[in-house]
């Protein structure tokens, strides 16, 4: 059986994601699709709109076959690290034959050309020099490439796709990259009326107490939203964690801040001062942000401080595969994986307590992230039923 891996966040799972899965299966008839999805925090540096199991459930009811959790240490990281951790997990499964991702260009040959070019020593040296000058990573990555390839890397999904291709090569993962052309709104586009509105537009609509346009979300995601709302877990409100984030920053000394992932070039000094001068996260971000430090990078730093992440914990590759949701076909995939996976495959909460070494440390970190995430529920007491060591995967 062919198996396509997809690395995603599904925050929330919308019709564009459903289209991506359907197109992947159309390109690979008879294939299963397994997803590696961000947990309760996402790469843009904030809590997800709704709980990971609810998002995973919507995905398997909309075409995915297995959804694994991408650990928080990998999620709260730059695109290069995010991509590498996802590819690492896909390789560890032992069954993945293809990696499918969305892109603005839809041209896998062009993306592979850009990935090859970006790995050349002279391009790497130029990119490093531009980063030292204070350019954000996407700008530095584009400007370091030959002129004919610069436009392709300036679109966010193209950039992430290039990182996936690079990770496949660096990890010597023996699967084939394929791409599906992105439809509808661009990444983070605020427009709400297109056929496929962006996830950021949908999140804003929900957090403003409104309802997304008809057809923006698949029926399974709409049902998950209402189930989570009824349980007091939707919509998750990042502002409810602001005081906890500020408290964590104020407790940290300069050395501890310097040890946070993505903190370098004296950023720890700016964070230390701003944490004591500012009384809201919004003011703190405005105080610290420069051309060198994007808002997403800064938000990841703040949540890394809250969760206790360090440079070392982010460098460590994921050490287990936790199932969040699975379809009937997915159960066959899991049966095959048990024979060949290079990492423990966790299908029951009790199995988490039997992990050891690095896997145990990562599970403890994930449990803490889940506990803190629950503080952003409209009803914080609703977190007990979905805590890390007791929540079971959704099984179709």
The secondary structure of 359-374, three-state, reads HHHHHHHHHHHHHHHH
The per-residue pLDDT for 265 is: 87
Q: Quickly count: other Cβ atoms within 10 Å of residue 25's Cβ.
A: 19
The per-residue pLDDT for 136 is: 80
Evaluate whether residue 373 is within a structural domain.
no
Domain end, chosen from 206, 230, 254, is at 230
What tokens does 29 get? 């008839």
The per-residue pLDDT for 302 is: 98
Which pLDDT tens digit goes with each residue over 353-390?
899 999 999 999 999 999 999 999 999 888 887 889 99
219 and 176 belong to one structural domain: yes
Evaluate whether residue 334 is within a structural domain.
no
Q: Residue 326 half-sphere exposure, CB side, CA atoms within 13 Å?
A: 20
78 and 171 belong to one structural domain: yes
Q: Torsions phi, psi of 69, nearest 5?
A: -85, 130
256 and 162 belong to one structural domain: no
Evaluate whether residue 352 is within a structural domain.
no
Evaluate whether residue 326 is within a structural domain.
no
Write down the pTM of the prediction: 0.95
Evaluate whether residue 135 is within a structural domain.
no
78 and 98 belong to one structural domain: yes
Which pLDDT tens digit goes with each residue over 180-217?
998 766 555 555 555 678 999 999 999 999 999 999 99
CA–CA separation, 318 vs 391, rounded Å?
A: 20
245 and 224 belong to one structural domain: no
Q: Which residues pair with 8 in a beta bridge?
A: 37
181 and 66 belong to one structural domain: yes
Evaluate whether residue 46 is within a structural domain.
yes
Low pLDDT (below 70) residues in the chain: 184-195
What tokens does 297 get? 């990078």
CA–CA separation, 106 vs 103, rounded Å?
A: 5
Domain end, chosen from 230, 257, 289, is at 230
CA–CA separation, 222 vs 70, rounded Å?
A: 23
For residues 212-234, b (16+ Cβ closer than 10 Å) or e, as one string?
beeebbbebbeebbeebeebebb
Boundaries of domain holding 294: 238-314
CA–CA separation, 70 vs 67, rounded Å?
A: 9
The per-residue pLDDT for 194 is: 56
Overall number of domains in the chain? 2
Domain end, chosen from 182, 209, 230, is at 230
């Amino acid at each position: 059986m062919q198996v396509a891996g997809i690395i995603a966040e599904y925050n929330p799972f919308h019709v564009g994601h459903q289209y991506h899965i359907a197109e992947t299966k159309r390109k690979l008839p008879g294939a299963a699709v397994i997803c590696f999805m961000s947990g309760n925090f996402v790469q843009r540096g904030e809590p997800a709109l709704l709980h990971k199991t609810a998002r995973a459930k919507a995905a398997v009811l909309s075409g995915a076959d297995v959804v694994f959790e991408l650990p928080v240490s990998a999620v709260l990281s730059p695109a290069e690290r995010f991509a590498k951790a996802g590819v690492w997990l896909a390789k560890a499964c032992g069954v993945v034959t293809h990696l499918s991702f969305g892109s603005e260009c839809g041209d896998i040959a062009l993306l592979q050309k850009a990935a090859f070019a970006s790995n050349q020593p002279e391009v790497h040296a130029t990119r490093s020099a531009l980063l030292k000058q204070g350019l954000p990573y996407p700008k530095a990555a584009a400007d370091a490439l030959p002129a004919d390839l610069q436009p392709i890397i300036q679109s966010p999904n193209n950039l992430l796709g290039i990182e996936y291709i690079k990770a496949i090569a660096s990890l010597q993962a023996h699967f084939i990259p394929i791409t599906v052309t992105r439809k509808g709104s661009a990444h983070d586009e605020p427009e709400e009326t297109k056929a496929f509105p962006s996830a950021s537009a949908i999140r804003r609509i929900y957090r403003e107490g409104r309802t997304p346009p008809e057809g923006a979300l698949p029926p399974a995601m709409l049902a998950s939203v209402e189930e989570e709302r009824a349980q007091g877990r939707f919509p998750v409100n990042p502002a409810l964690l602001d005081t906890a984030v500020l408290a964590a920053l104020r407790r940290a000394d300069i050395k501890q801040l310097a040890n946070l992932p993505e903190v370098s070039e004296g950023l720890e000094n700016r964070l230390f001062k701003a944490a004591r001068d500012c009384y809201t996260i919004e003011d703190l971000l405005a105080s610290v942000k420069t051309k060198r430090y994007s808002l997403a990078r800064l938000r990841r730093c703040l949540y890394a401080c809250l969760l206790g992440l360090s440079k070392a914990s982010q460098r460590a590759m994921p050490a287990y595969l936790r199932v969040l949701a699975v379809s009937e076909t997915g159960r066959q995939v899991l049966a095959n994986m048990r024979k060949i996976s290079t990492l423990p495959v966790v299908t029951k909460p009790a199995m988490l307590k039997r992990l050891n070494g690095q896997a145990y440390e990562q599970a403890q970190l994930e449990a803490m992230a889940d506990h803190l995430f629950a503080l952003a529920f409209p009803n914080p007491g609703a977190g007990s039923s979905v805590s890390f060591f007791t929540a079971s995967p959704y099984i179709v």
